[in-house]
Amino acid sequence: MAGTQVVIVGAGPSGLMLSLLLQRQGVDSVVLERHTREYVEARIRAGLLECGTVDLLNEAGAGERMMGEGLVHDGFELAFDGGLHRIDLQGLAGQHVLIYGQTEIQKDLGDAAGERVVWGAADVTLHDFDSSRPRVTYRKDGAQHEIECDFIAGCDGYHGVSRASVPRDRIALHERIYPFGWLGVLADVPPLSDELIYANHARGFALCSMRSTHRSRYYVQCPLEDKVEDWSDERFWSELAARLPGDRASRLVTGPSIEKSIAPLRSFVAEPMRFGRLFLVGDAAHIVPPTGAKGLNLAAADVRVLYQALAEYYRARSEALLDEYSARALSRVWKATRFSWWFTTLMHKFSDEPFAHKLQLAELQYLAGSTAASTVVAENYVGLPFDAGRAAGTIRAA
Ligand code: APR
Ligand code: PHB
């Protein structure tokens, strides 16, 4: 039977970041991923990074291309009632965000992680995570394998085996499903604007984002029952233009979509995030609607708390930070869940009821006229400060 210190289930951003950061602290890990690397890297995801996530990717040694190609954004715009209001992130919260596709991050992390990942690990099963010597079994190339370890990190996303392995009576699940989806289009056309535009409109929400100065990412709110086939490129571009202020719509450069998909919107939190020697991380424990672009950033925040706690355990044999992991991670998760729910509620169309839209417009007008209210948005958007945690030891600089 093979052995390691930490078995990490899932080679998404959480699992690979954790493995790299642990390695820099001299902690061994094995990452088990059920899909091939090509499959994992083909998934189109968001691409907005808080400074904390940028720092962690650099600390993991996977930030070089990101620092070279990422776009620094000091603000974004809110479009409503035919007009625009800019949220000055740098001015109000003293920070910027970085635009760099999660697909690229996945590739950079995959390059850096190298041999530590077992791609195509089928039937991953967790055993004895309430004991001091958990085991994980999996099948690869027709052979059964077993790994003994000290800890298991469940970085296997919402549909993974880790959370599903926890007895139902030991976990509380909180969920809110939104009655609409996001139809996203990727196109090799110049972005409409240098900064992101979030649009509230009587026809529904729209978002103008980008991946580079020549590749754009746009989203429109659509009914959940819609199919991608219902949306030709023409229909998409005309609907997007209809939801933007006139002067911006007139500048929209359209072109053939290179990717088009519909994503449902949900808020989901599992509590606690630790079960004996099993730690849930990222989407395995929480999902946010993409409106606030918090998904990847929350996953990175979990990884930051967990890798520091595991490093402290192996450095000083202290479980103090491990014991704090769930509470510290959830404190940030709930704040980001609240911000993502609030931003989704403010910017999307929930009904044809004019009163509801009037309330949204009133809140947006208040926001546009109040530095205090805009500062609240800016602080949450750039990412709230990390709490050091009571028992923080001295982590060895990478
Ligand atoms: N066995 C092995 N691997 C698994 C299993 C399993 N049973 N189930 C899922 N996985 C793998 C998936 O194939 C995926 O590659 O776990 C990985 C989980 O990755 P993500 O879903 O990307 O989750 P996470 O790493 O937490 O990243 C969160 O990704 O989805 C975005 O918006 C989300 O930005 C957030 C970020
Ligand atoms: C994206 O670029 O895909 C993106 C950006 C900001 C969001 C959501 C998605 O809030």
Q: Per-residue pLDDT for 392 more than 50?
A: no
Catalytic pick among 100, 138, 178, 198: 198
Convert the pLDDT of each residue in 201-252 to its tens digit: 999 999 999 999 999 999 999 999 999 999 999 999 999 999 999 999 999 9
8: its two tokens: 């990490």
Q: Per-residue pLDDT for 397 more than 60?
A: no
Other C-beta atoms closer than 10 Å to the C-beta of 238 total 13
Other C-beta atoms closer than 10 Å to the C-beta of 227 total 9
Residue 178 catalytic?
no
pLDDT interval class at 1 (50, 70, 90): confident
The atom number, within ligand 2, closest to the CA of 291 reads 10
pLDDT reported for residue 389: 52
Convert the pLDDT of each residue in 354-389 to its tens digit: 999 999 999 999 999 999 999 999 999 999 988 755
Q: 3-state class of 269 per DSSP?
A: strand
Residue 167 catalytic?
no
Residue nearest ligand 2's atom 4 by CA: 46
Q: Please, which contacts does 34-41 make with residues 24 or more away whose CB atoms are closer than 8 Å?
A: 34/120, 34/121, 34/122, 34/124, 35/119, 35/120, 36/119, 36/120, 37/11, 37/110, 37/117, 37/119, 40/11, 40/12, 40/106, 40/110, 40/119, 41/103, 41/106, 41/107, 41/110
Give the least confident one: 42-51, 57-66, 313-322. Answer: 42-51
CA distance 362 to 160: 41
How far away, in angstroms, is 324 Cα from ligand 2 center?
31
Catalytic pick among 96, 201, 286, 294: 294
pLDDT reported for residue 394: 42
CB contact at 8 A, 233 and 257: yes
How far away, in angstroms, is 254 Cα from ligand 2 center?
19
How far away, in angstroms, is 159 Cα from ligand 1 center?
8
Mutate to test the pocket of ligand 2, among 97, 219, 260, 377 (most ligand atoms within 8 A of CB): 219
The atom number, within ligand 2, closest to the CA of 48 reads 5
195: its two tokens: 């900064």
pLDDT reported for residue 115: 87
Ligand minimally distant from the alpha carbon of residue 8: 1
The stretch 132-152 carries a mean pLDDT of 97
Residues with CB under 6 A from ligand 1: 9-15, 32-35, 40, 45, 102, 121, 124, 155-157, 159-161, 282-283, 295-296, 299
How far away, in angstroms, is 96 Cα from ligand 2 center?
15
Phi/psi zone of residue 392: left (φ > 0), alpha (ψ -120 to 50 degrees), beta? beta
φ, ψ at 226 (rounded to 5°): -65, 150
Mutate to test the pocket of ligand 2, among 216, 217, 260 (most ligand atoms within 8 A of CB): 217
The atom number, within ligand 1, closest to the CA of 281 reads 26
* Listed residue (165, 183, 180, 187) closest to 255, CA to CA: 187
Convert the pLDDT of each residue in 180-199 to its tens digit: 999 999 999 999 999 999 99
CA distance 376 to 371: 9
CB contact at 8 A, 292 and 336: yes
CA distance 9 to 283: 12
b vs e for 146-169, b when ≥16 Cβ sit within 10 Å of the residue's Cβ? ebebbbbbbbbbeebbbbebbeee
> What is the gyration radius of the CA atoms in the chain, in angstroms?
21
CB contact at 8 A, 206 and 252: no
Q: 3-state class of 349 per DSSP?
A: coil
Residue 327 host element (H or E): helix 320-347
CA distance 238 to 383: 34
The atom number, within ligand 2, closest to the CA of 292 reads 10
Residue nearest ligand 1's atom 23 by CA: 157
How far away, in angstroms, is 380 Cα from ligand 2 center?
15
* Listed residue (3, 8, 1, 2) closest to 277, CA to CA: 8
Residue 294 catalytic?
yes
Residue 290 catalytic?
yes
The atom number, within ligand 2, closest to the CA of 198 reads 10
pLDDT interval class at 6 (50, 70, 90): very high
Average model confidence (pLDDT) across the chain: 96
φ, ψ at 262 (rounded to 5°): -115, 130
Query: Residues with Cβ < 8 Å from 118, sequence gap 6 or more?
Result: 30, 31, 32, 33, 138, 140
Give the least confident one: 33-47, 73-87, 251-265, 268-282. Answer: 33-47
CB contact at 8 A, 325 and 392: no
pLDDT reported for residue 38: 96
How far away, in angstroms, is 101 Cα from ligand 2 center?
9
